[in-house]
């Protein structure tokens, strides 16, 4: 076999291999069977545990949640502005014990499952340590506790949902 013929053969074989690989890949990716199998695994079912509230408790809980998201945004804004004192204040306002001053609807605490309370407490404690880390100028400690608090948001959202019965 001449050198040119050998080269042509190699290029041909490479082309065939590439085609084969592509067809295998394309089959696995776009197969309609695969998609319908995935949607059968209960994508329509909410498997999280419901927290049962009346309408007032429900609205109160949602408003608290929106407040938490605002706090995260405000913490970032204060960090960008280099305002550590403001960051500490924001974190402290979400810390343990701070909710006592706010008006909870009647029966609110009684409506919360134990696991929910525990995750909420863990998050409040993380905010509290964020505040004291910031007071001490420990930004790295603050960031670690912030990650922990965000982990609590994620974990609770994966475990519970709110449901209003009135
Ligand atoms: C102890 C449990 C728990 C923790 C901790 C928690 N959440 Fe939630 N949050 C919930 C539940 C339950 C819902 C309602 C979800 C549903 O019904 O689909 C919710 C809803 C929300 C909503 C939607 C509010 C609305 O008006 O629809 C936001 C925003 C939110 N959470 C932000 C946060 C942020 C940010 C954090 C952490 C800093 C956080 N949450 C921590 C349980 C928690």
Query: Ligand 1 centroid to 102 CA: how many Å?
Result: 18
On the CB side of 127, CA atoms within 13 Å amount to 26
Structure tokens at 86: 């403001």
> What is the arithmetic mean of pLDDT over 116-135?
98
More confident residue, 39 or 157: 157
Picking from 130, 124, 157, the residue whose alpha carbon sits closest to that of residue 76 is 130
> Where residue 103 falls among pLDDT bands split at 50, 70, 90?
confident
Which residues, judged by CB distance below 6 Å to any ligand atom, belong to the binding site of ligand 1? Answer: 51, 62, 65-66, 68-69, 72, 116, 119-120, 123, 149, 152-153, 156-157, 160-162
**Burial classification of residue 57, based on how many CB atoms lie within 10 Å of its CB (0-12 exposed, 13-18 middle, 19 or more buried):** buried
Q: Are 130 and 142 in contact (CB under 8 A)?
A: yes
Q: pLDDT at position 1, please?
A: 56
Q: pLDDT at position 144, please?
A: 98
Query: Ligand 1 centroid to 80 CA: how many Å?
Result: 25
Rg over CA atoms, the chain? 27
Q: pLDDT at position 166, please?
A: 74
> Where residue 3 falls among pLDDT bands split at 50, 70, 90?
low
Q: pLDDT at position 48, please?
A: 97
Q: pLDDT at position 98, please?
A: 76
| Probe target for ligand 1 pocket from 53, 119, 157, with the most ligand atoms within 8 Å of CB | 157
Q: pLDDT at position 87, please?
A: 98
**Residue 28: pLDDT over 70:** no
Cα distance between residue 96 and residue 111, in whole Å = 19
**Residue 109: pLDDT over 60:** yes
């Amino acid at each position: 076999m001449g050198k040119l013929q050998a080269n042509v053969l190699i290029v041909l074989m490479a082309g065939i291999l590439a085609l084969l690989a592509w067809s295998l890949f394309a089959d696995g990716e776009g197969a309609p069977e695969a998609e319908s199998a995935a949607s059968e695994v209960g994508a329509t079912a909410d498997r999280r545990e419901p927290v049962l509230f009346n309408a007032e408790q429900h609205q109160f809980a949602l408003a608290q949640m929106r407040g938490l998201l605002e706090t995260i945004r405000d913490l970032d804004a204060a960090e960008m502005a280099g305002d550590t004192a403001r960051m500490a204040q924001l974190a402290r306002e979400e810390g343990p014990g701070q909710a006592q001053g706010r008006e909870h609807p009647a029966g609110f605490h009684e409506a919360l499952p134990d696991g929910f309370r525990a995750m909420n407490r863990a998050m409040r404690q993380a905010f509290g340590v964020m505040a004291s880390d910031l007071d001490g100028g420990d930004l790295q400690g603050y960031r670690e506790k912030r990650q922990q608090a965000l982990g609590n948001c994620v974990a609770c959202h994966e475990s519970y949902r709110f449901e209003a019965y009135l």
